[in-house]
Amino acid sequence: MSPLDLDRDPAWLSREELDQARERLPILYVDAVPVRVDDRGEVTHVGILLRIDDGGTVCRELVGGRVLHHERVRDALMRHLEKDLGPVALPRVPVAPQPFTVAEYFPTPGVTPFHDPRQHAVSLAYVVPVAGDCAPQNDALDLTWLTPDEALDPGVQAEMDRGHGVLLRQALAHLGHPV
Amino acid sequence: MSPLDLDRDPAWLSREELDQARERLPILYVDAVPVRVDDRGEVTHVGILLRIDDGGTVCRELVGGRVLHHERVRDALMRHLEKDLGPVALPRVPVAPQPFTVAEYFPTPGVTPFHDPRQHAVSLAYVVPVAGDCAPQNDALDLTWLTPDEALDPGVQAEMDRGHGVLLRQALAHLGHPV
Amino acid sequence: MSPLDLDRDPAWLSREELDQARERLPILYVDAVPVRVDDRGEVTHVGILLRIDDGGTVCRELVGGRVLHHERVRDALMRHLEKDLGPVALPRVPVAPQPFTVAEYFPTPGVTPFHDPRQHAVSLAYVVPVAGDCAPQNDALDLTWLTPDEALDPGVQAEMDRGHGVLLRQALAHLGHPV
Amino acid sequence: MSPLDLDRDPAWLSREELDQARERLPILYVDAVPVRVDDRGEVTHVGILLRIDDGGTVCRELVGGRVLHHERVRDALMRHLEKDLGPVALPRVPVAPQPFTVAEYFPTPGVTPFHDPRQHAVSLAYVVPVAGDCAPQNDALDLTWLTPDEALDPGVQAEMDRGHGVLLRQALAHLGHPV
């Protein structure tokens, strides 16, 4: 079921209603930084999606999306991870609700490091180890696994907009990696 | 400015629009556990509000409320603390955005320990030391400062509905207190 | 290699040297709350060890022990989990170094909720999902998997000394469970 | 009382005993990132000490030091903050024991981003707002308050050794600052 289908479901918002809500309320999001870990739990790779944005530009981004009405935060995380990484990614959603940070996306650039031209979104951000096979889904062109050092490369960071580069660096700092 | 005034502001939602949104979207909240600390930062007292609920029953609750459109999470915390504790409470809002937990209030009881009959609300929960003079505002009858042990008393807990007793105990556990 | 062997290794402390250090320095520990999780990452069971203490009394406790010289915290976690749960427990050590709490065990009871008659120990506490087969090792008689509600039973709590009952409740609170 | 005096106190370790312990046990430390905050709790400045190291080189570092036998972690934080910033710095030690990270300093460079040639030290790291007047004490030449952006300047970072530059960046990331 694509995000569009979800929005068409009568239990949730129509596209028009969502547009109206976006002008009036902060929208709750989750962001996930998918990682590969070794046997000791140390992160070896970070998964980054490659997409074509609305303007036709290639960009890299993390996994994430809206939390729906009546949906648990952990179910929203599972849904977006499966939507973006495929049904056999086997994400290990964190056991505790405490996120490593909260990213506040403002429609006006510069209020915070995070920016979303469509809306004011507030996102609970988690690092999520994935153990299974991942395959980019929907509108993602590709999924790249980079080492933490590769992910910090300025070239990679420059291709991440909306502040996803900052969020990735904050995640790596939280993991104990030098940033 | 009371919460009602805010809701009347054209920049935010009308009461009717808010009611519609509440049926369709999770609403972003903040919860604050106000505390008094000693010189070493150890919590000595927890502040609990006494209110009359819509049905006329006396109940105890924590500080909290909605995050508004275009409002930073820390500004929402400040606004609700000042709204409930008065303008000279001098709250020390946490320096970092990471909450100690995320409380998911469902309109259906039993989905989580948190319940809100009006809506699906997702709340970022913080412990906030307050250094100034506090005076209950608006519809709060009183503000009581209890020691952590007093706050854990089953009688006190029984007067906290919507799961606020659970959230208080989770906060005390996070503070290192035996619960 | 048993903990005794490690202490005999010249790279580490002799029993006598360890005893001397214990009288003079806080000793660094790790505590792990082993858990079983479902596909969505929700905790279904907590693992508790059954031991005979030095006085011959049966007691329940969490996994844990010293961090050795030159040992990474995550390796100490792995070592103690494998030592207590067996070599195929497949623990998923957390990706980030941030513990959910720090437990300070004092030789004098009452300073904190945590007590260790042998020493002043400071412990980094983590919740660790285990995915494999667990079998009690060494001096543990048994390993019991309890639901969170069963683990909160006063009878179970009464059998956990040194404050492990408090630590378990703090862990469950961190996981979002009502305590 | 200087750190040397403390080490001479019979309740603690002699210098010789400390040297022996350092070869055999991880030593428990605390690190504090002192910050100035505005009324909303947002960090405006970070405090960095200027010292002359043993080799006569000027270097910048964060506040920190050993946790002593029988000392609470929050008391160790208070003691080191007062030792380095003076008696009227009025540090607001965090209410909860959960550190934002754990820094593992190894005597061998490269094991982690943190390095201490004298010992294997494991440090609980906290961000601590200070509200009073600060004056460098003991062997510190100066205390500089830098904005987060100034603190991230490569020149400043280059003067921070033992990984303190990394720890500062991890702290700023935890605070929601772009790093």
Chain B partners of A28 at a C-beta cutoff of 8 Å? Answer: 25-28, 122
Among the listed ranges C99-108, C135-144, D62-71, which one has the minimum average pLDDT value? C135-144
Q: Which helix (H) or strand (E) holds B141?
A: strand B140-146
Q: Is residue C117 within 8 Å of C96, Cβ to Cβ?
A: no
Nearest to B99 among A12, A102, A107 (CB): A102
> Torsion over CA of C15, C21, C25 and C31, rounded to 10 degrees?
-10
In chain A, which residues have pLDDT < 50?
A: 1-11
pLDDT band at B4 (very low <50, low <70, confident <90, very high): very low
Q: What is the pLDDT of residues C125-149, one digit of tens each?
A: 999 999 999 998 877 779 999 999 9
pLDDT at C138: 73
Domain boundaries, chain A: 27-174
Q: Is residue A1 within 8 Å of A60, Cβ to Cβ?
A: no
| A152/chain D closest Cα distance in angstroms | 11
Contacts 24+ apart (CB under 8 A), A48-51: A48/A143, A48/A144, A48/A146, A48/A151, A48/A156, A48/A160, A48/A168, A49/A84, A49/A136, A49/A140, A49/A142, A49/A143, A50/A136, A50/A140, A50/A141, A50/A142, A50/A143, A50/A144, A51/A139, A51/A140, A51/A141
Q: Return the residue of C nearest to B103 by Cα.
A: C176
pLDDT at A13: 66
Q: Return the residue of B nearest to D173 by Cα.
A: B96
Chain B partners of C176 at a C-beta cutoff of 8 Å? Answer: 101-102, 112-113, 170
Chain A partners of D112 at a C-beta cutoff of 8 Å? Answer: 176
Contacts of B112 (CB under 8 A, 6+ apart): A72, B103, B104, B105, B106, B163, C176
pLDDT at B133: 95
pLDDT band at C23 (very low <50, low <70, confident <90, very high): confident
pLDDT at B1: 34
Q: How far is residue D121's CA from residue A146's CA, in Å, rounded to a whole number?
A: 31
| DSSP bridge partners of C37 | C43
How far lies D90's CA from each of B128, C172, D35, D93, D136, in Å? 17, 34, 12, 9, 14
| Selected residue of C106, C123, C170 to mutate for chain B interface (largest B Cβ count, 10 A) | C170
pLDDT band at C8 (very low <50, low <70, confident <90, very high): very low
| D173/chain A closest Cα distance in angstroms | 5
Among the listed ranges B31-35, B82-86, C134-138, which one has the minimum average pLDDT value? C134-138
Chain B partners of D94 at a C-beta cutoff of 8 Å? Answer: 41
| Selected residue of D22, D68, D69 to mutate for chain C interface (largest C Cβ count, 10 A) | D69
Record: contact C174-B176, CB cut-off 8 A: no
| Selected residue of A27, A28, A114 to mutate for chain B interface (largest B Cβ count, 10 A) | A28
Q: How far is residue B82's CA from residue C79's CA, in Å, rounded to a whole number?
A: 49
Residue count (chain C):
179
pLDDT at B55: 81
pLDDT at D14: 73
pLDDT at B60: 95
pLDDT at D13: 65
| B142/chain A closest Cα distance in angstroms | 31
pLDDT at C12: 56
Q: Is D173 on the interface with A (CB under 8 A)?
A: yes
Q: How far is residue C35's CA from residue C168's CA, in Å, rounded to a whole number?
A: 11
| Selected residue of C28, C95, C118 to mutate for chain D interface (largest D Cβ count, 10 A) | C28
Give the three-class secondary structure for C173.
helix
| Selected residue of B167, B170, B175 to mutate for chain C interface (largest C Cβ count, 10 A) | B170
Q: How far is residue D59's CA from residue A110's CA, in Å, rounded to a whole number?
A: 33
Among the listed ranges A12-21, B5-14, C52-61, C91-100, which one has the minimum average pLDDT value? B5-14
Nearest to C173 among B102, B112, B169 (CB): B169
Nearest to A28 among B17, B28, B100 (CB): B28
Q: What is the pLDDT of residues D29-53, one digit of tens each?
A: 999 999 999 999 999 999 999 988 7
Instruction: Over range B29-53, report the average pLDDT.
Output: 95
| B14/chain D closest Cα distance in angstroms | 28
pLDDT at B13: 66
Q: Which helix (H) or strand (E) holds B60?
A: strand B58-61
Q: Is B170 on the interface with C (CB under 8 A)?
A: yes
| A76/chain C closest Cα distance in angstroms | 10
Joined together, the tokens standing for residue C4 give: 């005794």
Record: contact D129-B43, CB cut-off 8 A: no
pLDDT at B82: 94
Q: How far is residue D1's CA from residue A29's CA, in Å, rounded to a whole number?
A: 51
pLDDT at C150: 97
> Chain A neighbours among D 50-109 (CB < 8 Å)?
101-102
Q: How far is residue C166's CA from residue B179's CA, in Å, rounded to a whole number?
A: 7
Strand runs (DSSP E) across A89-151, as ranges? Answer: 101-106, 114-115, 121-129, 140-146
Query: Between D137 and C87, whose confidence is greater?
Result: C87
> How many Cβ pairs closer than 8 A exist between chain A and C?
61
Q: What does the DSSP assignment read for B103-127? A: EEEESSTTSSSEE-TT--EEEEEEE
Q: Does residue C38 carry a pLDDT above 50? A: yes
Query: Between D5 and C79, whose confidence is greater?
Result: C79
Q: Is B36 on the interface with D (CB under 8 A)?
A: no
Joined together, the tokens standing for residue D72 give: 């609470």
pLDDT at A35: 98
CATH of domain D27-174: 3.90.79.10
Q: How far is residue C178's CA from residue B112's CA, in Å, rounded to a whole number?
A: 9
> Chain A neighbours among C 141-160 (CB < 8 Å)?
none
Record: contact A175-C95, CB cut-off 8 A: yes
Q: How far is residue C119's CA from residue A167's CA, in Å, rounded to a whole number?
A: 41
Q: How far is residue A136's CA from residue C79's CA, in Å, rounded to a whole number?
A: 36
Q: Does residue C24 carry a pLDDT above 90? A: no
Query: Between A59 and C12, whose confidence is greater?
Result: A59
Residue with tokens 């009690």: C136
Chain D partners of A176 at a C-beta cutoff of 8 Å? Answer: 101-102, 112-113, 170
Q: Per mean pLDDT, which of B13-22, B111-120, D2-11 is the most reliable?
A: B111-120
Among the listed ranges B149-163, C3-17, D153-167, which one has the minimum average pLDDT value? C3-17
Chain B neighbors (3+ CB pairs < 8 Å): A, C, D
Q: Is D43 on the interface with B (CB under 8 A)?
A: yes
